[in-house]
Structure formats: structure tokens, C-alpha cells
Amino acid sequence: MNLDLTPEQSAFRDEVRAFFAENVPESFKSRVRAGMRLEPHEFTQWQKLLHARGWGAPSWPKEYGGTGWDPTKLYIFETEASRADAPVQFHQGLELIGPIIFTFGSPEQKAKYLPAIVSGDDWWCQGYSEPNSGSDLASLSTRAVRDGNEYVINGQKAWTSYAHVANRMFLLARTDPDARKQAGISLFLIDIDTPGVTIRPVVTMDEIHHTNEVFLDNVRVPPSALLGEEGMGWSYGKVLLDRERGVTAATTTRLAQQLRGARKVAAETLVGGRSLLDDPRVADRLAQFELEVMALEGMVMRTMAEATSGQDSGPRASMIKIRWSELLQQITEYWVELQGYDAMAFAPLGPFEAPDAWAAKGMIYSRVTSIYGGSNEIQRNIIARRALGL
Amino acid sequence: MNFDLSEEQQLLKDSAWRYGADHGDFTAWRARVERGEAYDAASWRRMADLGWLMLNVPEDDGGLGAGPTETMVVAEAVGRYLMLEPFVSTGVIAPTLLTAATEALRAHLMAGLAEGKLVISLADAEPNGRFDLNRIATRAEAVEGGFRLTGAKSHALDGGAADWFVVPARTAGADDSQDGVSLFLVPAEIEGLTVMRSRAMDNRHNASLKLDGVVVPAENLIGGLGEGFPLLRDAVDRGVVARLAEAVGAMDAVREMTMEYLKTRKQFGQTLGAFQALQHRAVDMAIACEEARSMMYLAMIALSGVPAERRKVIAAAKARVGQTSLYVGRQAVQLHGGVGFTEELAVAHYLKRLIMIDMAFGNADHHRAELAASLRPGAVAA
């Protein structure tokens, strides 16, 4: 057992480190450190920057425009990104639909869609959840009915993040209402400007417009919009399970950023001339986060090492998602506590001198991380059922 | 980056687990405990035959000179099967300390411990020092042909069964200084030494010591005069990591027992495992075990790393494994309900073992404070 890098991996780390040192825009850093998402145009800017370097799709195979890196290299890449306050790439195209397209899509779909995901020219949004189908996604009721040489889609999607900036959407719709719950569901790839698609913004509690409701009203699409086979849409998601390890690793390595941010505030906040770091209560709280993050990083390292040598990691990716979201919330909450009154300046109303005010927004935003992508309660249900056999 | 065992390490693991499964019957274990023995002499000799006690003895001393991974593999089995034999004190800490002993004693003691004939205990804690390794008020003064030791030690792991003690004593410096600490080999039967033996809740026989002018020959000094602290630190770090592995082994075992119970025990017409509240608890226990194992690996690997990083990682690991192990142990008792509270199931004994491991060499709070200190700007490694 060791944490050693091979000479090739060390050289790769140096190369990645040098790239990040020069290319992460200064204006991103304070928001990234607070665990916030960038603005859509900034995500695209970052994606294009990575693409220009040949690193647009770090987790994809080479034949689809990816880097072909093994999980250890991917881990090195993300660790270095974290170190440099670089953002996480926007994942809906790269991680949620891209791999399904390159695994199950037709040659035409691959050629049409994959390059634009890697280059950042296309923005995909995910039409899965519905007002009455949240955690119980398979109960969704959006319908797609074959009408001559078209499908006609009707329904309503909820929590469609970035539908307002996306040009494409992947969505699940029921093509066979009589089949068993999951079996009647198909996956469609549509253009967002197709007539009948209406987007209503939903502003979230961080006062940012990330997400939307999407109304699908007699949306007519050609049969080529269907991915794979009718009724198989649900099953295609399984391909993502195996990739989850990489996604959680990418996000989890970023906890070091939030810890750095909180520690910096503690170090720089003076009470009667003494730094908050001199207060044992503060030092203890920070050390507690430090050691929990270290344990989680250890879990990520083991997972990536196993993925590199083709071993199964069981439910560890779900466990990491749970612990990452819990820690992100706790660390950003504490960061805000450390800021004290500085955190009250949520939105300056004119010239206002406040140090790094993003922590409060980051803290509020972090509430969604234990809800999205399968809430932590659902994650625990899944682990209990699949891994523990309960 | 690699967390796999080598083929040889895997064989050692298989053999340790097989030994545990063959000799770890809980009824027999309880019978032994009730006989009041510190440990089972026959089992101890078998462990020696298996080579476990030679792992940390250098090859030049007739040992195997194995690395921290091998120690970890065995210690995990020690925890998994609740073994009471003094593996960590005598098999890990003592041989590390003895590497600096004088020729006269080194060969004799290394051979004795490797053969399972001797138990050697480090008396590292003092009444006025709590968990601080450097707070040593016990004094050693040079006398004709040797040293005279005076002071008190509040805890010596496995000291209740020890033939020899390693006693850190101050030959120079203030009571909390790392400089001026010397290490002495002191036989259990010697004039001026009072060994107060006690049984801990995990049935380990420990001791506290009173040294009232104990005179030992000069050859009993380990290493340079006043230069013993780095070696003491190193030996304790290795002991800590072994005990972390022991904790992880115990955590896995008690969690597995709890899962089995959840799947078989029925109430309200269904298995306990059908209740979502208990399912989620079981998941949190599984996550805690994963965290603890990951931390333990990092600490084990850190033993071979740079000193500053090593202290930081080991302190973090001791703290996190302590926290997660107590969570798992306590939940295991809780989920077993009334029977979990009895001496009749192993579950209770696992919790008691985990409580004692957390306390050993400083509890979670102590190590978190050490980590906090190491994170301060300009901190130097202790």
C-alpha cells in the first residue's frame, strides 16, 4: 500500500498544475472556493479553455473526444483543480447524457451531439423530474405518443436546471402507459427551441436563477430524437452508476477549497487583536472538519485506485456523495459563522467594503446538494437495499 | 496510489483470519476471561509460532523486519476476533524501542518476545501528563554503575502481564520538554518498583507504576542519554496505527453481527431490517466503517512519510477512528436492544474494546487538539 505516483503520473501532475496555475480566471476563484456554481457563460468559457488544451472531457474515452485518462489520472487532475481554485466542469452534458449517447446512441446521434458537448458549444439540460415525480422518478407521467412519423410529447418537467441557457434537452417520457412502471419509459434528445417547449424560471433560495419548470405542449419531434429503443430509457441510466465514482471524486476534492476559505477567515478575523485561530473552540471545530475531510479523501483515493485496477467499490460512491454534501453544508455554515457580521452583507446596496461575501451564498446553495441527484435519504435507501441487503 | 495487499500480505491476512476463526469462539473466550488470566499462554505461543511477534523484529535480530502493512494486517485480526494477547505492546511497540537497546539486552529481549516468552510494556503515561507523551516528571539520576529512577506512571498497556517495562524518565530539561527524555528497561521484579495491576473493561490487564528509587544498570538505557523522545514518539505512532487497525477489525466484526441481527430478528411481524429508520442507521454505520478504514490506511502509509505530515495524519486518524468506532460500537448495542446490553453477546465486548482503544495513547479529543495545533501557522511537528 502506498500513495506514490509513478514517474509518468508525477509528470502529469506537474503538467496539470502548471496549466491550472496559468489558466484559472482570477474572477472565478472566490466563488469556487465558496462552493458556488459559476455563471453559465463562465462555465462555457471554462469548458472551451479545457477543450482547447485537449482536456474537454477528462472522463471520456479517446474515441469520443475524451482524454482516455484512467481514474488515477482523473483523480490527480481534480485534486490539482481543487488546489488551484478551479471550478468543476458543468456535468449535465459531460456526465449525465454524453456517456449514454456514446454507449447507446446511433452513429448519427454520436456524430451530431458528442463533439459539441466536449467543445462547450452545446448546453444540455435534464428533463427528468416532474412536479409529482421527485424521488419516485419512475412514476413520471409525461407522455410521448407516436403520431405518424413523429412523437408528440406532452407533460411538465420540474427542476430543469439551466433550461433557460440550454439549446438541448434530454428527457424521459412514457411511451407505453400499460407497461410496468420503469418499462414504459423512453429517452428523447430534443432541441430546446422546438415549438411547444415553454420555460418558466424558478429562482432558488440563493437568489440565483439556476432552475426552471418546463412545459411540453404538443412538442413534435422526429423518431431520430429517440435514443436507443422505445421503453428502454430507464435502463440506460445504469451506465452512469459505474461512472459515479469519477463524478463524486471531482466534487469531493473541492471540499479542500471550502476548508481553505473558512480557515482563511478564521486566521484573518481579529478580536481584540487576536486571531480567531487562537480560540481553541474555533481551532477544534476547524480540526474536526479537517479530519472528516481527510477521511473522505481517503475514501475517494481508495475508490479511484480500485477503479483504476478494475475492482468494484460497492456503494462507496453513494457514501461519498452523502458525506460530501453533509460536510459542504457544515463547513460553509461554519464559514458564515466565522464571518459574523460580514456575512450579513448578502447584497451590497451601493459601494460597500466587505471581504469575500460569497460564503453566505455558498452556504445557502449547499442546501440543495443533499437533495439533488437522489436525496441523501434516497441514497441511504439504495445503499441499504443494494449493498447491505436490507 | 495503491491500497492492495501484496500476495504475501494477503497470505498473512488469510492465516491471521483463519487463526482467529479457529480460536475465536466466543464461549471459549468468555471462559478464559472468567478464569481471570491476562491472556492465554498457549494462544500467545501459537502467535509466536505464526511469526506475528517477529514481524517488527529487525532481520539482524533474527526477526522478519516486516513493514507497517504486515502489522496492520495482524492487528486487524486481533480486533476482529477480540484477541487479548499483548500484540501491540510486545509485538509492535517493544521491538521498535529495543532497536536502540544495548547489545547486552537487545538480543536477549528481542529473542524472548519473538518466541512469546516475554511481555514488554511501555509505561508512557504520567499522572500529571494526561495524554501528553512529552510530559515526563519521572526522574532518572546517574548513580554508580547505573541510574536511579523515581516517579510514577499512570498507565502501561498490558503492564499487568509484563515481565519488563520500558520507562521514559527525565535526565534533563523541564517536565514537558522533548529534550532530556531517556528510556530505561526495567524488569517487573525489582526493588523499589510497585506494579499496580488492573483489569480494564475490555479485559486487558494493564498497570500503573510507582518507582521509588529503582536502580537499573547503565546497560538498561535505551539509546542516547536525553535523546529518547524521537524513538518514543516513533514507537507510540506505530502502536497507535496498530491499535487503529485493531479498532477497524473490531468495527467491521460488530457491524457484521448487527447486520445479521437486523436480518433475522423479527418484531411487529417483520425483520428489524425492514424498518427504514434502522436501515438508515445501518448505512451510517457502514459509512463510519469506510471512513475509519480509509483513515487507518492513510495513517499506516504515513508511518513511512515525512515527520510533519506523519504526525498530522496519525493524529487525524486517531481522532476520526475514535469517533467513528464509538458510533459504530454504541449503535451496535442499541440495535441489538436488551441482549446487546448483556455480557452474553460479543457485541457488548466489542463496544468495550473500542472505548478502550479510543482512550489508548490519547482519545479523539486529544488528537483533534494535536491536529489543530499542527495546523496553526508556523506550527512544528511534535
- Sequence ranges of the domains in chain A: 7-104, 122-232, 238-387
Quickly name the fold that domain A7-104 has. Butyryl-Coa Dehydrogenase, subunit A; domain 1 (1.10.540)
End-to-end CA distance of chain A: 32
Element at B196 (helix H, strand E): strand B193-199
**By three-state DSSP, how is residue B177 classified?**
coil
DSSP designation for A97: I
Beta strands at A226-227 and A185-191: parallel, antiparallel or unpaired: antiparallel
The grid coordinates of residue A118 equal 466536449
Torsion sign (Cα): B168, B161, B320, A84: positive
Subunit contact A1:B377, Cβ cutoff 8 A: no
> How many beta carbons lie within 10 A of that of residue A178, not counting itself?
7
Q: How far is CA B267 from CA A385, B264, B273, in A?
A: 19, 10, 10
Task: Scan residues 240-269 of A and list those with Cβ closer than 8 Å to B.
Answer: 263, 267
Instruction: Please state which CATH number belongs to domain B121-226.
Output: 2.40.110.10
> Residue-wise over A95-105: b if at least 16 C-beta within 10 A, else e?
bbbbbbbbebb
Residues of A in contact with B295 (CB under 8 A): 291, 294-295, 298
Superfamily of domain A122-232: Butyryl-CoA Dehydrogenase, subunit A, domain 2 (2.40.110.10)
With residue B167 as reference, give the H or E element that holds it: strand B164-170
Q: Does A218 touch chain B (CB under 8 A)?
A: no
Which grid cell is B303?
508511518
Nearest chain B CA: its distance from A9 CA (Å): 10
Q: Residue A232 and residue A186: Cα distance in Å, rounded?
A: 6
Bridge partners, A211 (sequence order): A202
Which residues in A lie closer than 8 A to residue B273 (C-beta atoms)?
384, 388, 390
Q: Does A378 touch chain B (CB under 8 A)?
A: no
Neighbouring residues of A367: CB distance < 8 A, sequence distance ≥ 6: A205, A329
**Gap between the Cα atoms of A256 and A133, Å rounded:** 35
Question: Per the CB < 8 Å rule, is A309 touching B375?
Answer: no
From the list A1, A295, A316, which residue is nearest B69 (CB)? A1
Evaluate whether A151 touches A196 at the Cβ level (below 8 Å).
no
pLDDT of residue A356: 67
Contact A296 B372 (CB under 8 A): no
Q: How many other CB atoms are there within 10 angstroms of residue A348's CB atom?
A: 10
Position B381 pLDDT exceeds 60: no
Phi, psi of A189 (to 5 degrees): -115, 115
How far apart are the C-alpha atoms of A237 and A241, rounded to whole Å?
Answer: 7
Q: Which three cell numbers stand for residue B270?
A: 417483520
For CA atoms A357, A359, A360, A362, the dihedral sign is: positive
DSSP code string of A245-267: HHHHHHHHTTHHHHHHHHHHHHH
Say if A117 is an interface residue toward chain B (CB within 8 Å): no
Give CA–CA dist A237/B265, Å, rounded: 35
How near does any CA of chain B get to the CA of A268, in Å?
12
Q: Which residues contact A33 (CB under 8 A, 6 or more apart)?
A: A85, A257, A258, A260, A261, A356, A358
Q: How many C-beta atoms lie closer than 10 Å to residue B105's C-beta?
A: 17
DSSP structural state of residue A219: E
Q: Do B369 and A287 touch (CB under 8 A)?
A: yes
CB-based contact, A8 to chain B, within 8 Å: no
d(CA A287, CA B319): 10
- Cross-strand pairs, B181: B170, B227
Nearest neighbour of A1 by CB, restricted to B301, B371, B373: B301
Q: What phi and psi values does residue A305 have, to the nearest 5 degrees?
A: -65, -40
Q: Check residue B380 and give its pLDDT.
A: 56
Name chain A contacts of B282, Cβ cutoff 8 Å: 384, 388, 390
Residue A111 has a pLDDT of 97
| Interface test mutation site (partner A, options B3, B262, B313, B331, max chain A beta carbons within 10 A) | B3
Sign of CA dihedral A323, A324, A325, A329: positive
**Average pLDDT for residues B197-204, to the nearest whole number?**
96
Closest Cα in chain B, distance from residue A303 (Å): 10
What are the grid coordinates assigned to B195, written together?
506494579
Residue among A283, A292, A385 whose CB faces B372 most closely: A283
- Tell me which fold the domain B7-118 belongs to: Butyryl-Coa Dehydrogenase, subunit A; domain 1 (1.10.540)
Residue at grid coordinates 469520443: A64
Q: Give the Å distances, CA to CA, from B224 to A246, B230, B231, B294.
A: 51, 11, 10, 37
CA distance B96 to B85: 18
The CATH H-level superfamily of B230-375 is Butyryl-CoA Dehydrogenase, subunit A, domain 3 (1.20.140.10)
Q: CB atoms < 10 A from the CB of A66, how many?
A: 21
pLDDT at A243: 80
Query: Across the A/B interface, how many CB contacts are shorter than 8 Å?
Result: 137
Give the residue numbers in B contacting A (CB under 8 Å), as ranges.
Answer: 1-5, 69, 259, 262-263, 273-274, 276, 278-280, 282-284, 286-287, 290-292, 294-295, 297-298, 300-301, 304, 313, 316-317, 319-320, 324, 368-369, 371-373, 375-377
- With contacts defined as CB-CB under 8 Å, which chain B residues touch A381? 276, 279-280
Q: In which residue are the cell numbers 502489522 written?
A: B71
**For chain B, counts of helices (H) and of strands (E):** 11, 10
For chain A, the maximum distance between any two Cα atoms, rounded to a whole number of angstroms, is 77
Reported as a pLDDT band with limits 50, 70 and 90, residue B308 is confident
A358 CA to chain B: closest CA distance, Å?
24
Question: What DSSP string describes A3-36?
Answer: -PPPHHHHHHHHHHHHHHHHHS-HHHHHHHHTTP
pLDDT in tens, chain A (390 residues): 999 999 999 999 999 999 999 999 999 998 898 888 899 999 999 999 999 999 999 999 999 999 999 999 999 999 999 999 999 999 999 999 999 999 999 999 999 999 999 999 999 999 999 999 988 999 999 999 999 999 999 999 999 999 999 999 999 999 999 998 899 999 999 999 999 999 999 999 999 999 999 999 999 999 999 999 999 999 998 888 778 788 888 889 999 999 999 999 999 999 999 999 999 999 999 999 999 999 999 999 999 999 989 998 889 989 999 999 999 999 999 999 999 988 888 888 888 776 667 899 999 999 999 998 889 999 999 999 999 999
Span B227-253, mean pLDDT?
98
pLDDT at B369: 96
B33, HSE (Cβ side, Cα atoms, 13 Å):
20
A238-387 topology per CATH: Butyryl-CoA Dehydrogenase, subunit A; domain 3 (1.20.140)
Q: How far apart are the first and last CA of chain B?
A: 27
**Helices A316-339 + A280-308 axis angle, to 10:** 150
Confidence of residue B382 (pLDDT cuts 50, 70, 90): very low
The per-residue pLDDT for A354 is: 66
∠ Cα A99 A103 A105 (to 5°):
100
Cα A186–A192–A198 angle (5° rounding)? Answer: 100
Helices (H), A24-135: 26-33, 40-52, 71-83, 91, 98-104, 107-119
Q: Does B286 sit within 8 Å of A304, measured CB to CB?
A: no
Exposed / middle / buried, residue A344 (Cβ in 10 Å: 0-12, 13-18, 19+): exposed
A244 is catalytic: yes
| Selection from A275, A193, A188 nearest residue A225 by Cα | A188
SS3 B293: helix
Q: Which residues of A touch B298 (CB under 8 A)?
A: 3, 294, 298
Structure confidence by residue, pLDDT tens digits, B113-163:
999 999 999 999 999 999 999 999 999 999 999 999 999 999 999 999 999
The candidate with the shortest Cα–Cα distance to B139, out of B205, B211, B202, is B211
Cα–Cα distance, B117 to B105 (Å, whole number): 15
Q: Which three cell numbers stand for residue A369?
A: 446538494
Catalytic residue among A80, A95, A130, A244: A244
Domain ranges in chain B are: 7-118, 121-226, 230-375
Query: B92 vs chain A: nearest CA distance in angstroms?
Result: 19
With a pLDDT cut of 90, the percent of chain B lying above it is 93
Per-residue pLDDT at B200 exceeds 60:
yes
Are B68 and B238 within 8 A, CB to CB?
Answer: yes
- Return the closest-CA partner of residue B117 out of B126, B125, B109: B109
